[in-house]
Chain A
Amino acid sequence: MTLLNAALQGVFLGAFYAVLACGLSIMFGVMRIINLAHGDIAVLGAYVVFVIVEHAGVSAFIAFAAALPVMVVLGYVLQITLLERSLKAGILTPLLATFGLSIVIQNLLQLAFSPDVQSLGGSAGALTTSSWQLAGGLSVSALGLVVLVVAVLVFGALQLFLARTRIGWMMRATAEDADAAELVGINSRSVYAWATAMAVAIAALGGFFLAIRSVFDPVSGPTQLIFAFEAVVIGGMGSLWGTLLGGIALGVAQTLGAQVHPQFAVMAGHLLFLVVLIVRFGGGRAVLRAAR
């Protein structure tokens, strides 16, 4: 039964990875930008919440609600200043620009907050400590459940938005053919800016979950980016539901790996990622050929 419990914990962990990965998936899906600063933006979001908690003395959840509009504006401005210009210079430039942005965010955070490790777990109330023991040795933590429910709601809402609303259609149209979208009257610059704003806001949600479920510091971003990136690739690039499932698959691989050995957890996730890469890009046949 410990294996089953481990898998269940993996689902909760994976829901967290899926939230982290969601914004990465949006930006890749709409603009074909691989945002290497995504993890750092998530951590930046955590620090914005942290600052509000410290200064206003409110609960972490209220602070997050206040941080959200800040992050939306930040995402919008990021697109129309940095990313839009870098997109015009070819596909490699956004990669370099976001890589630079990642370093800038990490160093600014170090300057402003020192390299000390922080957590918002204490400001999130009883949620971080409550849990239920179910029959069969299964354990459900309140926080894990909240993250899972929020993840499903975020992905579900996004799916509905893209499938049912005209602005959602405009976003899909621009993602599929930005030039043709302009020709039917869609302002592609504005669509891109809103897509980035959404991605940054959801990244901040991921950073917030990171901050209340464990600890963060100014250089936590790249690790989060790797997990987010693996979730996106495992789920199939550019597919939303795929990203949710990819995140959960990654989480389950890690918690099952931890059953083998605690230090094998992250490695198990990486292995799943590599296997998916090999299978998806036809590497399976190449491996078989080489073995013969």
Chain B
Amino acid sequence: MTLLNVEALDCRYGLLQAVRSVSLRVEAGETVALIGANGAGKTTLLRAVAGAHRLHSGRVVFDGVDITRLPAHRRVALGIALVPEGRRLFPSLTVEENLRVAASRRRRGPWNVQSVLEVFPMLQQRRRRPAASLSGGEQQAVAIGRALMSNPRLLLLDEVSLGLAPIVVDAVYRSLAGIISEGSTVLLVEQDLTRALRVAGRVVCLLEGRVVLEEAAGGLDRDRVVSAYFGLRRPA
């Protein structure tokens, strides 16, 4: 079953065209990694799917429903949650408040404050502390937990490893692996190619706003990814 269907998506910042006619399907239960150099349009694509960036043209269909014109908060109610780049927690709210404020359009499902704290035990001690006082890794855990609070059917992760120490990134990905194995559908942006290939079933590479490579992660050879990534040889 196709959960997300993006058709001929075009996104612009003024005159700059960030995403050019991108079409993408994500099947239910799949984990897809979006890779590409800085400025390739990955973040814009995720934000457009979440409803945080207005489309110039194209369509976004989620579980058979055209959501192109829905505002972001209504997409959350349908089951789309984005962990934004840079975490974007609410700094004066405590960890627990950050989680609970995200439950206003909660769907039925396993995630609540308790289960999020079980997956990220390091937050247990910090639940009454303001988000601004946490370390980067703890903040990232809260950001992921906050997205999970709505019990999403599609989880969008934008560079969850950015700015974190490698050991913390490992911890974050270990928790993610548990979440992914429970059958969630995930579309993630990841700069670290090795990591992207390890967690994802399929890889989509963007270059200057276009899809230049789309393949199962399994048999993918690294050289082809690298050349697509930097646009050394454009595939026909």
Contacts and interface: CB of A to CB of B under 8 A. Distances in A.
A and B form one complex: yes
Interface of A: 166, 169-170, 172-173, 176-177, 179-189
Given A184-B101, A185-B76, A173 B52 contact: no
B50 interface: yes
A169 B84 contact: no
A62 B147 CA distance: 47
B93 A179 contact: no
B93 A183 contact: no
A188 B71 CA distance: 10
A244 B88 CA distance: 30
A184 B88 CA distance: 11
A173 B90 contact: yes
B38 interface: no
Interface string B210-231: 0000000000000000000000
Interface in B74-88: 76-77, 81-82, 84, 88
Interface string B97-118: 1101110111000000000000
A175 to B, nearest CB: 9
Given A177-B88, A179-B52, A183-B76, A169 B150 contact: no
11 contacts: A170-B104, A176-B93, A177-B88, A179-B84, A181-B101, A182-B72, A183-B82, A183-B84, A184-B102, A184-B104, A185-B104
Nearest to A179: B52
A212 B124 CA distance: 53
Given A166-B100, A173-B101, A182 B73 contact: yes
Contacts, number: 71
B38 to A, nearest CB: 21
A187 B101 CA distance: 12
A176 B101 contact: no
A172 B132 CA distance: 14
A172 B101 CA distance: 10
B178 interface: no
Contacts of B84: 179-180, 183
Given A177-B90, A180-B89, 4 more contacts: A170-B104, A179-B52, A182-B73, A183-B84
B57 interface: no
Contact of B147 (A172, A184, A188): A184
B104 A183 contact: no
B202 interface: no
A156 to B, nearest CB: 19
Contacts of A172: 90, 92-93
Interface size, B (range): 20 to 34
Nearest to A186: B73
Contacts of A186: 73, 101, 104
Contacts of A179: 52, 84, 88
Nearest to A164: B97
Contacts of B150: 184-185
A176 B92 contact: yes
B72 A183 contact: yes
B39 interface: no
A161 to B, nearest CB: 14
B51 interface: yes
Contacts of B51: 182-183
A207 B82 CA distance: 44
A185 B77 contact: yes
Contacts of B26: none
Given A166-B104, A185-B104, A185-B150, A180 B88 contact: yes
Interface string B130-169: 0000000000000000110110000000000000000000
Counting chain B CB atoms within 10 Å of each CB, which of A177, A179, A184 scores highest? Answer: A184
A13 B51 CA distance: 48
A18 B209 CA distance: 52
Scoring A166, A169, A187 by chain B CB atoms within 10 A of each residue's CB, the highest score goes to A169
The 3 closest A-B pairs by CB, nearest first: A185-B105, A185-B76, A184-B102
Contacts of B102: 184-185
B91 interface: yes
Nearest to A163: B97
Q: Which of A172, A181, A185 has the most CB of B within 10 A?
A: A185
A16 B236 CA distance: 73
Contacts of B77: 185
A176 B90 CA distance: 6
A188 B73 contact: yes
A182 B51 CA distance: 9
